[in-house]
A and B are shown apart, each in its own frame.
Chain A
C-alpha cells in the first residue's frame, strides 16, 4: 500500500512538472497584446483598489498600459519595465513580491520549508523507504506546484476579470467612461442610466462633466439641468437652461423646465417661458400641465 502511495505521489509530481513545462512552452507563443497584458497583469493600478493595470479601466491604468506597450516595442524586457515602474511608483506598484532581495526570500520560503518539513516528518515517524518516497513525492509536488503558481499567477487575475459583472449597465458605462473620459456621449449615457436608477446626484456629476466637455451641446445641457433639478439644485440648473435656450431657443423640454422652475419661484418670466413651450410643442404630453400653470389652476 505504501509503495502505491509513493508511486502516486511521484506521478502527481511528474504530472505537475510536465504541465508546467508545457504551459511555459505555450507561453512563448504570444502576440504583442498578450505580452502587454502579461506585464500589465503584474502591475498594480495606482488609482484603484487591488486591481491590476491590465484589468483596470482607470485613465491612469490606460496610460500605464500604453507605456508598457511602447517599452516592449522598444525591446525592453518585462523585468526592465517592472523596474522602471518601481522607480516611479515604488515597490507597491508590483502585484507580486519582487523576485530579488527580500521579495525573493518570500518566494523561496515555501520551496525550502516544504521539503524540510517533509524530511522532518519522515524522521519523526521513523518510516522506511516507502515513507521517504511518499514524503519526497509530496515535497516535489508542492515545489512544482509553487513554481507553477509563481509562473502563472496572472491566471487569478484572468478569472477575476471573467467573473466581473456584465449585466450592470451603470457599472459597464462607468468603466467605459473611465476608459475614455473625454467621450461626451458615454458621459450622457451614464448620466441617463444613473438618473433612471434614481441616483440623481451622481447623474448630475457626470452630466456636468459632459457639459464642461461640450458647453453648447443641447442634450448635455438639458440632461444636466434636469438632473440638477431632480437633485433639488434648481439654482445650478437655471444658468444651464439659459445657455440651452440661447443655443436652441425652441428646445421644448428646456422651455418647460426653466418655465416650471421660474413659475414655482413666483417669477412671471416663468409663465412667459411656459407660453413659448405651448407654442412650440402644443401636443407635448406635459402641455396640459403647463397650461394649468399658466392659467394659475394648479396653485393654492
Chain B
C-alpha cells in the first residue's frame, strides 16, 4: 500500500473501531426493558408469609407498592414506617402495599415482619429469590409502583423515602 493509502486506511480503521466501541457502550447502558416504567409487571404470585396464597392481580387497589425486602437487610427496616404511613393515608381501594420477602428464611422473615411492623401489610414469601430475579431486582430493598392495569409506573432502588413516595404518588392517588 502506498503512503497515501495508509493515510486513508488508518483513519477509517480507527473510526470503525471507535464506532463499534461506542455502539456497544450505548447498548450496554440501556435501561432494562422489563419491570421498568411503562412496562407490564411480571407475575407476582406465591404463598404469603402467613401461608395464604397471594396474587398481585387479585389486589384491587388503583396503585400497588411492591416492596422487595429481607430480614437480614438493615435498610429494609428503615422504610417500613414510610410504607405503613402510605398504606394508612390512602383508602384500601386506592393504594395497597405488597411486600415480597426475598432470599430469606420464613421464620426469620415472620419474626422481622412482626418486630418491624411489616406484618401491617401482606407479604409474599420468595425464599429462593426467583420472583426478585423475575422483576429484575438489583438489590434489597427495592420498590415498584404498579397501577391497576399491571403497568410499572416507577421503581426505587434502596429504602423508600417519604419525599420520593409523596412525589411519585402525587396525581396517582388522592389522599
Question: Which residues does A use to contact B, with CB under 8 Å?
Answer: 46-47, 59-60, 62-64, 66-67, 70, 86-92, 97-98, 101-103, 105-106, 109, 113, 120, 123-124, 181-182, 205, 208-209, 212-213, 215
Contact B138 A47 (CB under 8 A): yes
Question: A91–B129 Cα gap in the complex (Å)?
Answer: 21
Nearest CB in chain A: distance from B49 CB, A: 14
Contact B9 A60 (CB under 8 A): no
| A89 contact set on B, CB distance < 8 A | 32, 136, 138
| B103 contact set on A, CB distance < 8 A | 59-60, 62-63, 181
| B32 contact set on A, CB distance < 8 A | 86-90
Nearest A residue to B138 by beta-carbon distance?
A46
Question: Cβ of B174 < 8 Å from any Cβ of A?
Answer: no
Nearest B residue to A66 by beta-carbon distance?
B128
- Most central of B32, B35, B105, B137 by chain A CB within 10 Å: B32
Question: Cβ of B134 < 8 Å from any Cβ of A?
Answer: yes
Question: Cβ of B121 < 8 Å from any Cβ of A?
Answer: no
Known: A46-B139, A47-B138, A88-B32. A62 touches B129 (CB 8 A): yes
Contact B30 A91 (CB under 8 A): yes
Question: Which residues does B use to contact A, with CB under 8 Å?
Answer: 1, 6, 9, 13, 16-17, 20-21, 23-24, 26-35, 70-72, 74, 77, 102-105, 108, 111-112, 115, 128-130, 132-140
Contact A102 B128 (CB under 8 A): no
Contact A106 B20 (CB under 8 A): yes
Nearest CB in chain A: distance from B95 CB, A: 26
- Most central of B70, B112, B129, B132 by chain A CB within 10 Å: B129
Question: A7–B9 Cα gap in the complex (Å)?
Answer: 30
| A209 contact set on B, CB distance < 8 A | 72, 74
Question: A64–B32 Cα gap in the complex (Å)?
Answer: 16
Contact A60 B20 (CB under 8 A): no
Known: A63-B103, A88-B34. A102 touches B23 (CB 8 A): yes
Question: A264–B140 Cα gap in the complex (Å)?
Answer: 40
Contact B105 A88 (CB under 8 A): no
| A64 contact set on B, CB distance < 8 A | 133
Nearest B residue to A109 by beta-carbon distance?
B20
| A63 contact set on B, CB distance < 8 A | 102-103, 128-130, 132-133
Q: List, sorted by A's number, 16 A–B pairs whose CB atoms are closer than 8 Å.
A: A62-B103, A63-B102, A63-B103, A64-B133, A66-B130, A67-B134, A87-B32, A88-B34, A90-B29, A91-B30, A92-B30, A106-B23, A109-B17, A181-B72, A182-B72, A182-B104
Q: Which of B13, B27, B71, B139 contacts A91 (CB 8 A)?
A: B27
List 9 other contacts, CB 8 Å, given A59-B70, A88-B135, A101-B27. Answer: A63-B102, A63-B103, A63-B133, A66-B128, A67-B133, A87-B33, A105-B23, A181-B72, A208-B74
Question: A48–B113 Cα gap in the complex (Å)?
Answer: 27
Contact B133 A212 (CB under 8 A): no
Known: A106-B21, A212-B115. A60 touches B138 (CB 8 A): yes
Contact A109 B16 (CB under 8 A): yes
Nearest A residue to B112 by beta-carbon distance?
A212
Contact A102 B16 (CB under 8 A): no
| B132 contact set on A, CB distance < 8 A | 60, 63
Known: A90-B33, A102-B20, A120-B1. A60 touches B139 (CB 8 A): yes
| B139 contact set on A, CB distance < 8 A | 46-47, 60
| A213 contact set on B, CB distance < 8 A | 71-72, 108, 111-112
